[in-house]
């Protein structure tokens, strides 16, 4: 019984938190962007209604598509749920922290992306291939950029275990202002914008063939399949915001399972994610979408920032 | 203990005589049988079944022998009588040899079973006895390479391996590309062998013996300069075989030219003979005194090979050439482990060196399994469609479901995605390199972050390349009649691919199996002589050298499967069964989409070619024929070429120097017999003068 309380329950709570919070964060970003454009915008609960509707709707499948098309939504959703179990949000150490580290998290994202890109090619549509090609090209720069940014935090802590990194950083608040740390943070912020398909890299709101990346790959999805793919993308955004806040500024995180600590941790997490979501919305509203072949330059900036962070850490130490 | 030795000797004898018989018996039947049996097809299929079955049995005996040494930890040593001069003529199977023997035997077993089906394609068309003879001779020579404990024996088997593969590359010799590839291969490989001879002579000068046991003897060390010359000879000599950049130019030509079962062996196993040689010389013969620049050099070679290998692979649309370039990439990843081990060993951090070497050797095993699997898959596609050009393929997942499924497993594994085996060995490599962060040496502090960055880049690019390779080949609509008329391969081919796919999963989710064997192996090498200190338990792999970095691939796999059931169940509870409507893909308003409207492999890699345009130096030509009106163009030809920097700036100048000096020498070759007699007379006079 005590195993259930200390092991399974926290893991499930963490998963439910990310699952439930994800559409809300997207709703908030959408609302903020609408206000920037002097629109009323949809309510912040709109993504929940969309998901509920999509889950009930009929699925349209291309006659060209294979089993890869039908399995991918479940696989992507599953890998995102697994990541949600591994990334610290409210409390450290996580019950499953020994199962997978930060390299695992990045690789699990890559696993989901691999299959979504295959879906792009599966239906025989030119748009799908276009999206898959762009997504994999962009990923080939941002994935290493992300690794380097997070490795900067990892070598500071001397471990790639996410819970240990967060715990170490909480105990030495001074290292949060380390220049290497700040460089890595800015690198990871650009990575977040790119990975979650935000302006200036991709625009989640349009289906314009000149610019679309993520939407092009999943163009043929509908109904329940689309619901799971969309929900996974929303969770991905929350997980990235959690990484950005907790890997670099783990303020207010709960270190034990006491109800008071959990309440404080939960409130702190919520506040951090809302602030970061607002920042994402502001960046999206105040920047123009980059021309596709200018995007690699931006991503190279992220890569170089992260590499500099790592080398800087090496030369001057923490 | 005596029983164990006897028993293992029996396995060794069975394996060696098996391969020898497998080579000779079918060849004899082939020669004799022509006179006796009328039907060539019956004769050839008998030869095929006999030869590959013997190879299968011998490789299984090899697996048993390898496992018995690895699990018991007791090396096997057999002296051969009569002996040659300069040291005892002997075969040995220490942990290192046994590990590589295991890799050879495992892949050879799968490939032999595969060949039973695959080689039927050669009936009526080709000399089956020759194929079977060369195949078994190739396997025998590779096992000979890893088991030799004497330089002469080693070089003999090394040359036998090179020659048998030379003939196998030329098996379809009507193709001028195959002949050219074979010639390039034989030139390059002999360049390597020449340096290996130099290396062994230098080692001999130290010990006065050609036996490996004497080389290992720490009693008489050579001066550091000679040690470094030996190191360079080994790196270039074995590097040619391993296909490191810039010595790789033969590899993307030779691997596609050979029959696919041979390509699987060449790429999966033969390249590893180069790695075996490096590990043997660096960590066994040259032992504990390792200067720092060795590790740096190997790391430079490693990152160059891995990044350029995967970048060149991305532009390929020949499926087998693409896989061949990925072999270069993976050799690079293996060398990151070995280079890291050298670097850490030179700085005295032996546990870390041990961990890095362990990661490299783990990747040796993993690359053998998934690259073997992928080449067998490519062979299956080639068998069914008669084309290697993926621009002509597509939609094969419906025609060849099993091949597609197993190829996908191989693609996920090579892209280092969890929970398959490629992920585990790259994770270990990352861990070993990241731990180098604690070493306070400036060179290390710059080398390690760059290596880590480029390893991450390699992984991401590999995933992009395999989305292309799998997606364009197996998904979408068939792009040609070849793909339209494809059919699934025979049982033996599917079963062989399936067994390798199972190994990709097993080595992924149960790393403790492999690590518990590799750790004593690495500890036994004099150059490392420490445990990698990987804690294993409950399916978990934990690195105590760091602050408890750990993964549990088994739990990851289990959770992934469980988590896949979750959305299935949730969707069912919320919305009932999935209601499906099957319609054609949206054709942008056109009536229907055609195969020509799909993305091509060339189009897929375009953004990456643009990002890395400095490396590719691509030139393209577009030729448009305008006959009637500029709006209706009957013919558009697009040709894309990428420039090989190494051919242009390294090999061409070298070629010109060699040809130029040959021309200089030719001046004394007048062709008149009088001149030659004069030369002889002059030489004689000179000799008499000096010999006085």
Q: Rounded distance, CA B303 to CA B461, Å?
A: 13
Which strand (E) or helix (H) includes residue B77?
strand B76-79
- pLDDT confidence tier of residue B339, bands split at 50, 70 and 90: very high
- Which of the residues A22, A67, A114 would you substitute to probe the B interface, choosing the one with the greatest number of B C-beta atoms within 10 Å? A114
Cα B354 from chain centroid? 23
Cβ–Cβ gap B595/A101 under 8 Å: no
Please give the mean pLDDT across all residues of chain B.
Answer: 88
Does B64 score more than 80 pLDDT?
yes
DSSP A286-318: HSPPPPGGGHHHHHHHHHHHHHHHHHHHHHH--
Place of tokens 């990002």: B611
DSSP chain A: -HHIIIIIHHHHHHHHHHHHHHHHHHHHHHHHHHHHTT-----TTHHHHHHHHHHHSPEEEETT--HHHHHHHHHHHHHHHHHHHHS-SSBSS-TTTTT--HHHHHHHHHHHHHHHHHHHHHT--HHHHHHHHHHHHHHHHHHHHHHHHHHHHHHHHT---HHHHHHHHHH-GGGGG-HHHHHHHHHHHHHHHHHTT-TTT--TT---TTT-SHHHHTTT--HHHHHHHHHHHHHHHHHHHHHHHHHH--TT-BSS--HHHHHHHHHHHHHHHHHHHHHHHHHHHHSPPPPGGGHHHHHHHHHHHHHHHHHHHHHH--
β B580-583/A59-62 pair status: parallel
User: Any CB–CB contact under 8 A between A96 and chain B?
Assistant: yes
Cis peptide before A93 (omega within 30 of 0): yes
Report the greatest alpha carbon distance in chain A: 59
Q: Provide the residue count of chain A.
A: 318
Q: Rounded distance, CA B544 to CA B534, Å?
A: 7
pLDDT of amino acid B164: 94
Q: Which of B60-69, B83-92, B482-491 has the lowest mean pLDDT?
A: B83-92
Contacts of B550 (CB under 8 A, 6+ apart): A98, A99, A101, A161, B540, B541, B542, B543
Nearest chain A residue to B554, by CA: A99
Question: Which residues partner with B625 through β-bridges?
Answer: B635
Q: Rounded distance, CA B457 to CA B470, Å?
A: 20
Q: Of A55, A79, A151, which is closest to B571 when you measure between CB atoms?
A: A55
User: Any CB–CB contact under 8 A between A48 and chain B?
Assistant: no
Please state the domain extents for chain A: 2-316
Q: B160 burial class (0-12, 13-18, 19+ CB within 10 angstroms)?
A: middle
**For residue B574, which residues of chain A lie inside 8 Å, CB to CB?**
52, 55-56
**Which range has the top average pLDDT, A301-310, B282-291, B460-469?**
B460-469
Contacts of B689 (CB under 8 A, 6+ apart): none
Q: Rounded distance, CA B435 to CA A158, Å?
A: 8
**For residue B599, which residues of chain A lie inside 8 Å, CB to CB?**
121, 126, 128-130, 132-133
Does B8 score more than 90 pLDDT?
no
Q: Rounded distance, CA B133 to CA B215, Å?
A: 34
Count the neighbouring beta carbons within 10 Å of the beta carbon of residue B548. Answer: 18
Please give the mean pLDDT across all residues of chain A.
Answer: 89
Q: Is the dihedral of CA A83, A85, A86, A91 positive or negative?
A: positive
Does A64 score more than 70 pLDDT?
yes
Q: Rounded distance, CA B495 to CA B508, Å?
A: 20
Q: Of A65, A117, A310, which is closest to B467 when you measure between CB atoms?
A: A117
Pair B43, B30: CB distance under 8 Å: yes
Residues 236 to 275 of A: which have CB under 8 A from any B CB? none
Does B357 score more than 80 pLDDT?
yes
Pair B638, B620: CB distance under 8 Å: yes
Count CB pairs under 8 A between chains A and B. Answer: 271
Pair B464, A136: CB distance under 8 Å: yes
Token digits for A178? 């380390």
Q: Provide the residue count of chain B.
A: 692
* CA distance readout (Å), B164 to A140, B264, B682: 39, 15, 43
The predicted model gives B492-504 an average pLDDT of: 95
Q: Rounded distance, CA B447 to CA B243, Å?
A: 23
- Which of the residues B455, B467, B553 would you substitute to probe the A interface, choosing the one with the greatest number of A C-beta atoms within 10 Å? B467
Nearest chain A residue to B569, by CA: A74
Which strand (E) or helix (H) includes residue B619?
strand B619-625
pLDDT in tens, A162-208: 888 888 888 888 777 888 888 999 999 999 999 998 888 888 777 77
Pair B220, B205: CB distance under 8 Å: no
pLDDT of amino acid A3: 64
pLDDT of amino acid A96: 82
User: Any CB–CB contact under 8 A between A68 and chain B?
Assistant: yes
- Which of the residues B547, B570, B590 would you substitute to probe the A interface, choosing the one with the greatest number of A C-beta atoms within 10 Å? B547
Cβ–Cβ gap A104/B418 under 8 Å: yes
Q: Rounded distance, CA B77 to CA A113, Å?
A: 50
Q: Of A66, A104, A224, which is closest to B475 when you measure between CB atoms?
A: A66
Does B1 score more than 50 pLDDT?
no
pLDDT of amino acid B538: 65
Pair B57, B138: CB distance under 8 Å: no
pLDDT of amino acid B595: 85
- pLDDT confidence tier of residue B28, bands split at 50, 70 and 90: confident
Does B656 score more than 50 pLDDT?
yes
Q: Rounded distance, CA B273 to CA B241, Å?
A: 7
pLDDT of amino acid B136: 94
Q: Of A100, A103, A118, which is closest to B430 when you measure between CB atoms?
A: A103
B92 vs B437, residue with greater confidence = B92
A65 to chain B, closest Cα gap in Å: 7
Percent over 90 (pLDDT), chain A:
51
Nearest chain A residue to B424, by CA: A104
Does A318 score more than 50 pLDDT?
no
Token digits for B50? 């006999």
User: Any CB–CB contact under 8 A between A308 and chain B?
Assistant: no
Q: Rounded distance, CA A189 to CA A203, Å?
A: 16
Pair B509, B554: CB distance under 8 Å: yes
pLDDT in tens, B624-634: 776 667 677 77
* CA distance readout (Å), B486 to A124, B76, B514, B553: 18, 48, 38, 36
pLDDT in tens, B435-479: 887 787 888 888 888 899 999 999 999 999 999 999 999 999 999
Token digits for B11? 């396995």
pLDDT in tens, B527-573: 887 877 787 776 677 777 777 788 888 889 999 999 999 888 888 88
Percent over 70 (pLDDT), chain A:
97
Q: Rounded distance, CA A220 to CA A125, Å?
A: 9
A106 to chain B, closest Cα gap in Å: 9
pLDDT of amino acid B80: 79
Backbone φ and ψ of B222, nearest 5°: -85, 160
Place of tokens 């490996």: B212
Does A280 score more than 80 pLDDT?
yes
Count the neighbouring beta carbons within 10 Å of the beta carbon of residue B81. Answer: 6
The predicted model gives A114-142 an average pLDDT of: 92
pLDDT of amino acid B57: 94
B431 to chain A, closest Cα gap in Å: 8
Q: B632 burial class (0-12, 13-18, 19+ CB within 10 angstroms)?
A: exposed
Q: Which of A14-28, A162-176, B77-91, B308-322 has the lowest mean pLDDT?
A: B77-91
Nearest chain B residue to A294, by CA: B611
- Which of the residues B306, B556, B596 would you substitute to probe the A interface, choosing the one with the greatest number of A C-beta atoms within 10 Å? B556
**For residue A159, which residues of chain B lie inside 8 Å, CB to CB?**
546-549
The predicted model gives B77-92 an average pLDDT of: 78
A37 to chain B, closest Cα gap in Å: 31
Question: Which residues partner with B78 through β-bridges?
Answer: B91
Contacts of B656 (CB under 8 A, 6+ apart): none
Does B260 score more than 70 pLDDT?
yes
Q: Rounded distance, CA B642 to CA A114, Å?
A: 26
pLDDT in tens, B388-410: 999 999 899 999 999 999 999 99
Does A242 score more than 60 pLDDT?
yes
Token digits for A131? 């999206």
Q: Which of A99-113, B121-135, B392-406 has the lowest mean pLDDT?
A: B121-135
């Amino acid at each position: 019984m005590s195993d259930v309380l200390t092991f399974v329950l926290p893991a499930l709570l963490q998963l439910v938190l990310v699952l439930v919070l994800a559409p809300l964060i997207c709703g908030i970003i959408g609302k903020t962007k609408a206000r920037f454009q002097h629109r009323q915008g949809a309510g912040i609960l709109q993504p929940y209604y969309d998901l509920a509707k999509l889950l009930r709707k009929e699925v349209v499948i291309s006659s060209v598509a294979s089993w890869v098309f039908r399995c991918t939504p479940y696989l992507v959703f599953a890998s995102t749920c697994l990541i949600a179990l591994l990334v610290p949000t409210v409390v450290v150490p996580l019950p499953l922290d020994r199962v997978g580290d930060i390299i695992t998290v990045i690789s699990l994202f890559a696993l989901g992306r691999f299959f979504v890109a295959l879906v792009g090619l599966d239906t025989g549509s030119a748009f799908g291939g276009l999206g898959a090609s762009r997504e994999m090209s962009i990923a080939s720069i941002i994935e290493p950029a992300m690794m380097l940014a997070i490795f900067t935090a990892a070598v500071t802590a001397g471990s790639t275990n996410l819970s240990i990194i967060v715990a170490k950083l909480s105990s030495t608040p001074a290292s949060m202002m380390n220049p290497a740390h700040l460089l890595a943070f800015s690198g990871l912020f650009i990575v977040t914008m790119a990975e979650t398909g935000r302006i200036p890299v991709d625009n989640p709101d349009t289906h314009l063939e000149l610019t679309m990346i993520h939407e092009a790959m999943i163009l043929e999805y509908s109904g329940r399949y689309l619901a799971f793919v969309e929900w996974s993308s929303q969770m991905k955004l929350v997980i990235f915001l959690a990484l950005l806040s907790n890997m670099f500024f783990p303020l207010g995180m709960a270190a034990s399972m006491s109800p008071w600590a959990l309440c404080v941790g939960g409130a702190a997490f919520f506040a951090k994610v809302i602030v970061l979501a607002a920042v994402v919305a502001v960046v999206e509203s105040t920047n123009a979408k980059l021309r596709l072949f200018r995007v690699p330059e931006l991503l190279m900036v992220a890569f170089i920032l992260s590499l500099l962070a790592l080398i800087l850490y090496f030369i001057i130490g923490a | 203990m005596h029983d164990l030795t006897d028993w293992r000797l029996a396995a060794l004898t069975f394996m060696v005589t098996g391969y020898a018989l497998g080579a000779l018996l079918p060849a004899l039947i082939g020669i004799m049988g022509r006179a006796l049996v009328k039907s060539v097809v019956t004769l050839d299929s008998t030869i095929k079944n006999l030869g590959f079955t013997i190879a299968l049995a011998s490789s299984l005996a090899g697996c048993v022998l390898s496992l018995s040494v690895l699990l018991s930890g007791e090396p096997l040593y057999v002296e051969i009588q009569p002996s040659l001069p300069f040291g005892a003529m002997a075969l040995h199977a220490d942990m290192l040899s046994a590990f590589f023997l295991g890799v050879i035997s495992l892949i050879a077993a799968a490939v032999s079973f595969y060949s039973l089906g695959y080689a039927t394609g050669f009936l009526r068309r080709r000399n089956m006895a020759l194929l079977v003879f060369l195949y078994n001779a190739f396997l025998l020579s590779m096992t000979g390479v890893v088991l030799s404990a004497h330089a002469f024996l080693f070089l003999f088997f090394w040359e036998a391996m090179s020659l048998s593969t030379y003939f196998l590359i030329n098996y379809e010799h009507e193709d001028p590309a195959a002949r050219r590839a074979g010639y390039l291969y034989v030139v390059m490989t002999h360049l390597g062998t020449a340096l290996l001879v130099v290396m062994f002579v230098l080692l001999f000068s130290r010990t006065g013996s050609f036996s490996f046991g004497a080389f290992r003897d720490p009693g008489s060390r050579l001066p550091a300069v000679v040690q470094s010359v030996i190191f360079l000879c080994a790196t270039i000599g074995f590097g040619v075989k391993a296909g490191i950049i810039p010595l790789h130019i033969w590899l993307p030509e030779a691997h596609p030219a050979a029959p696919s079962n041979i390509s699987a062996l060449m790429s999966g196993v033969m390249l590893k003979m180069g790695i075996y040689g490096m590990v043997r010389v660096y960590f066994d013969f040259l032992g504990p005194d390792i200067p720092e620049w060795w590790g740096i050099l190997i790391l430079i070679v490693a990152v160059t090979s891995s990044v350029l290998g995967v970048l060149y692979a991305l532009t390929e649309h020949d499926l087998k050439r693409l896989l061949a370039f990925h072999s270069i990439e993976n050799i690079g990843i293996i060398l990151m482990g070995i280079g890291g081990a050298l670097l850490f060993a030179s700085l005295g951090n032996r546990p870390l060196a041990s961990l890095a070497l362990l990661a490299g050797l783990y990747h040796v095993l993993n690359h053998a399994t998934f690259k073997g699997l992928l080449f067998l898959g490519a062979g299956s596609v080639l068998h069914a469609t008669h084309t290697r050009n993926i621009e002509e393929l597509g939609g094969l997942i419906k025609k060849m479901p099993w091949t597609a499924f197993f190829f996908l497993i191989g693609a996920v594994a090579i892209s280092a995605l969890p929970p398959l085996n490629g992920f585990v060995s790259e994770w270990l490599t990352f861990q070993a390199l990241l731990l180098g962060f604690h070493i306070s040496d400036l060179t290390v502090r710059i080398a390690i972050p760059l290596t880590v960055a480029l390893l991450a880049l390699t992984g991401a690019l590999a995933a992009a390349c395999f989305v292309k390779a799998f997606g364009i080949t197996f998904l979408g609509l068939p792009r040609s009649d070849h793909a339209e008329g494809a059919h699934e391969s025979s049982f033996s081919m599917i079963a062989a691919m399936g067994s390798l796919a199972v190994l990709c999963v097993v080595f992924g989710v149960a790393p403790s199996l492999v690590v518990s064997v590799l750790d004593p192996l690495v500890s036994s090498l004099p150059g490392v002589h420490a445990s990698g200190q990987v804690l294993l338990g409950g399916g978990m792999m934990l690195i105590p050298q760091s602050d408890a970095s750990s993964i549990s691939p088994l739990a990851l796999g289990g959770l992934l499967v469980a988590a896949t059931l979750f959305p299935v169940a949730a969707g069912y509870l919320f919305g009932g069964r999935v209601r499906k409507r099957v319609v054609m893909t949206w054709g942008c308003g056109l009536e229907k989409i055609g195969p020509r409207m799909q993305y091509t492999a060339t189009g897929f890699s375009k953004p990456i070619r643009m990002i890395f345009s400095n490396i590719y130096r691509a030139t393209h030509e577009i030729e448009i024929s305008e006959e009637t009106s500029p709006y209706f163009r009957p013919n558009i030809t697009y040709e894309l070429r990428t420039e090989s920097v190494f051919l242009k700036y390294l090999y061409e100048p070298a070629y010109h120097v060699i040809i130029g000096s040959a021309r200089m020498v030719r001046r004394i070759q007048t062709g008149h017999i009088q001149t030659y007699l004069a030369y002889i007379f002059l030489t004689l006079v000179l000799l008499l003068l000096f010999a006085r």
